[in-house]
């Protein structure tokens, strides 16, 4: 069975366990704090700015005719160049981690200090811990991305499975002990600790002997351009959804933020599982494109798209039916109302369609829709925030769906058609 799919299933099951602890041991206010903290940690992907995705694709190309030896030893004629590539990537992320902490930590202090709800919580120390661990987890990204891109998908997802398992246990334990703000940092803690141990005991040859801020590795211009455009796409994704949890926290209250955050977590859980068929095939699809074998690429892409779409639609239908059937159960008071929640699920389906097209084009190391998607996201942010302030969550969800259906989807399909015809 697909190793990424197994990882996503484990992730989903552990997420369900976490949701149980959240809804049974946290108050609605604490739930809002928990998801607001998580939204801030998601900002690491803005600082990553698409580099981790670019590293997967570049690694798939650079690792051709190379092999892994024991403890991460690289075998092949260009082994030194690939190790320089790993070292240069680590230095880039070290800088990104420092920059993240310098910017986000003081911003969080100002953000929470200016909020009335913050006066009833001791959030200073949990926020320090969260900001530090977020920065450190950002530094772990290059190793995971490069080794995944080289084709060692089973190894990477075994590591990720251990990370989420340990993170879930620690998170649930702290929720049970009534430390919700620390609980939001536990997955980050497990990512940092397990990545460090994994690299030391299994891949010590890939660790830099010394940190050299002046690298001999030359980044190709097309890689830089590709990375920047992927970064804009990541920024667009964050502006589309993640940013609204802290906005709800600020303009409404932690309860509304918690309901939106939990609803989004359920939708994202389904979306993550469905994306497994794509994620596991990205290195292979990228190699087929690099080798000029477009027929195999198309076959693999179509297979992944049909399988992932079927699973997604089936899961959304099932979850909607269960919600409607058990709508009066207490647990559903912790998420959005039925129709608002249905709007979140429709958003997840539309996002899957858009992301599928983006993955298709990205395998050619192109990102022609980045600017268009960014403009759509800014438009959604403006209309969504306005609707949120005056019409609450319902207005926000309507604004997101209207922008997606009538602007983002048509723009994506037109851009894909033009690109597809040129290949």
Residue 150, pLDDT score: 84
Residue 305, pLDDT score: 92
Run of H or E including 68: strand 67-68
C-alpha gyration radius of the chain: 21
Please classify residue 216 by burial: count the beta carbons closer than 10 Å to its beta carbon, then call 0-12 exposed, 13-18 middle and 19+ buried.
exposed
C-alpha dihedral over 37, 43, 45, 50, to 10 degrees? Answer: 160
Distance separating alpha carbons of residues 206 and 200, to the nearest angstrom:
9
Is-contact 316 270, C-beta < 8 A?
yes
Is-contact 87 314, C-beta < 8 A?
no
User: How many alpha carbons lie under 13 Å from residue 164 in its C-beta half-sphere?
Assistant: 18
Residue 220, pLDDT score: 62
Which of 238, 239, 244 has the alpha carbon at shortest distance from 256?
A: 244
pLDDT tens profile 387-410: 988 888 899 999 989 988 999 899
Distance separating alpha carbons of residues 88 and 82, to the nearest angstrom:
10
Residue 128, pLDDT score: 95
Which of 80, 85, 149, 144 has the alpha carbon at shortest distance from 290?
A: 149
Residue 119, pLDDT score: 74
Which of 368, 363, 361, 365 has the alpha carbon at shortest distance from 286?
A: 363
Residue linked to tokens 């992944």: 304
Residue 179, pLDDT score: 92
CB atoms within 10 A of CB 105: 17
Residue 113, pLDDT score: 87
Residue 421, pLDDT score: 42
Q: What's the predicted TM-score (pTM) here?
A: 0.80
Residue 333, pLDDT score: 80
User: How many alpha carbons lie under 13 Å from residue 342 in its C-beta half-sphere?
Assistant: 11
pLDDT tens profile 132-181: 999 999 999 999 988 988 888 888 989 999 999 999 999 999 999 999 99
Residue linked to tokens 């976490």: 18
Residue 171, pLDDT score: 95
Give the residue ranges of the chain where pLDDT is below 70.
1-2, 213-231, 233-241, 418-423
Q: Which two tokens stand for residue 423?
A: 């290949």
């Amino acid at each position: 069975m697909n190793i990424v799919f197994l990882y996503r299933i484990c992730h989903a099951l552990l997420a369900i366990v976490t949701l149980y602890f959240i809804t049974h041991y946290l108050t609605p206010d604490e739930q809002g704090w928990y998801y607001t903290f998580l939204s801030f940690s998601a900002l690491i992907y803005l600082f990553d700015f698409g580099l981790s995705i670019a590293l997967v694709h570049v690694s798939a190309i650079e690792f051709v005719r190379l092999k892994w030896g024991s403890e991460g030893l690289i075998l092949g004629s260009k082994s030194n160049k690939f190790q320089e590539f790993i070292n240069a990537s680590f230095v880039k992320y070290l800088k990104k981690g420092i920059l993240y902490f310098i910017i986000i930590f003081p911003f969080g202090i100002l953000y929470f200090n200016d909020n009335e709800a913050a006066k009833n919580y001791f959030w200073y120390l949990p926020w320090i811990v969260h900001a530090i661990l977020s920065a450190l987890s950002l530094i772990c990204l290059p190793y995971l991305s490069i080794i995944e891109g080289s084709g060692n998908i089973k190894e990477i997802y075994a590591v990720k499975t251990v990370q989420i398992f340990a993170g879930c246990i620690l998170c649930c334990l702290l929720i049970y002990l009534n430390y919700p703000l620390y609980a939001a940092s536990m997955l980050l803690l497990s990512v940092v600790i397990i990545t460090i141990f994994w690299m030391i005991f299994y891949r010590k040859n890939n660790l830099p002997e010394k940190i050299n801020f002046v690298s001999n590795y030359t980044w190709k211009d097309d890689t830089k351009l590709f990375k920047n455009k992927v970064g804009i796409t990541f920024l667009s994704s964050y502006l589309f959804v993640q940013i609204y949890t802290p906005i709800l926290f600020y303009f409404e209250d932690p309860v509304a933020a918690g309901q939106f955050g939990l609803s989004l977590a359920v939708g994202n859980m389904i979306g993550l599982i469905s994306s497994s068929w794509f994620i596991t095939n990205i290195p292979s699809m990228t190699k087929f494109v690099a080798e000029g074998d477009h027929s195999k690429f198309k076959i693999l892409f179509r297979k992944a798209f049909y399988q992932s779409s079927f699973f997604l639609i089936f899961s959304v239908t099932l979850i909607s039916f269960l919600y409607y059937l058990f709508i009066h159960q207490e647990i559903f008071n912790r998420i959005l109302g039925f129709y608002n929640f249905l709007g979140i699920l429709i958003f997840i389906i539309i996002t899957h369609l858009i992301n599928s097209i983006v993955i298709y084009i990205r395998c050619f190391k192109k990102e022609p829709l980045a600017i268009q998607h960014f403009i759509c996201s800014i438009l959604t942010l403006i209309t969504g925030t306005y609707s949120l302030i005056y019409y609450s969550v319902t207005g926000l969800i309507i604004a997101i769906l209207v922008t997606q259906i009538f602007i983002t989807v048509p723009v994506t399909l037109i851009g894909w058609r033009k690109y597809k015809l040129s290949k």
